[in-house]
Amino acid sequence: MFGVKQMVILGVLGIQTNAVAENRRLVFEYTVTVTGVEAGQPVDVYIPLAQDTERQTVVRTDLNSDIPGLEKKEGKYGNRYWHGHMDAAPGTDLTMSLVHVVERRDHGTGQPTPEELELFLKPNSRVPVKHAMVESIRSELGLTSDTTPYDKARAIYDYVVANVEYKKTGTGWGNGDTEWACTKKYGNCTDFHALFTSLARAEGLASRFEIGFPVPEQPVSGSVGGYHCWIQVALPEKGWFPIDASEAFKHPDKKDALFGNQPADRIRFTVGRDMVLDGQKAPPLNYFVYPHVEVAGKVHEGVKTSFSYGPDKDAEAR
First-to-last alpha carbon distance for the chain, in angstroms, is: 37
314 confidence band (pLDDT: 50, 70, 90): confident
Residue range 226-250: mean pLDDT, rounded:
97
108 confidence band (pLDDT: 50, 70, 90): confident
Angle at which helix 132-141 crosses helix 149-163, to 10 degrees, equals 110
What is the pLDDT, as a whole number, of residue 318? 55
Phi, psi of 316 (to 5 degrees): -65, -30
316 confidence band (pLDDT: 50, 70, 90): low
pLDDT exceeding 90 applies to what percent of the chain?
88
pLDDT exceeding 70 applies to what percent of the chain?
92
Residue 231 has pLDDT above 80, yes or no: yes
User: Hey, what domains does the chain have and what are their CATH numbers?
Assistant: 6-106+277-317 (2.60.40.2250), 114-263 (3.10.620.30)
167 confidence band (pLDDT: 50, 70, 90): very high
DSSP-assigned states of every residue in the chain: -TT--EEEE-TTS---TTPPPPSEEEEEEEEEEE--PPTT--EEEEEE----BTTEEEEEEEEEESS-EEEEE-TTT--EEEEEEESS--SS-EEEEEEEEEEE-S---PPPPHHHHHHTTS-BTTB-SS-HHHHHHHHHHT--TTS-HHHHHHHHHHHHHHH-EE---SSBTBS--HHHHHHH-EE-HHHHHHHHHHHHHHTT--EEEEEEEE--SSSSSEEE-S-EEEEEEEETTTEEEEE-HHHHHH-GGGTTTTBS---S-EEEEEE-SSB--TT--SSPBS--SS-EEEETTEE---EEEEEEEEE-HHHHH-
Residue 4 has pLDDT above 90, yes or no: no
Q: pTM, whole model, 2 decimals?
A: 0.92
What mean pLDDT value characterizes the chain?
Answer: 92
What is the pLDDT, as a whole number, of residue 38? 97
What is the pLDDT, as a whole number, of residue 10? 56
Sign of CA dihedral 208, 273, 204, 113: positive
Residue 6 has pLDDT above 60, yes or no: no
125 confidence band (pLDDT: 50, 70, 90): very high
Distance CA 128, CA 199 (A): 9
Residue range 176-199: mean pLDDT, rounded:
98
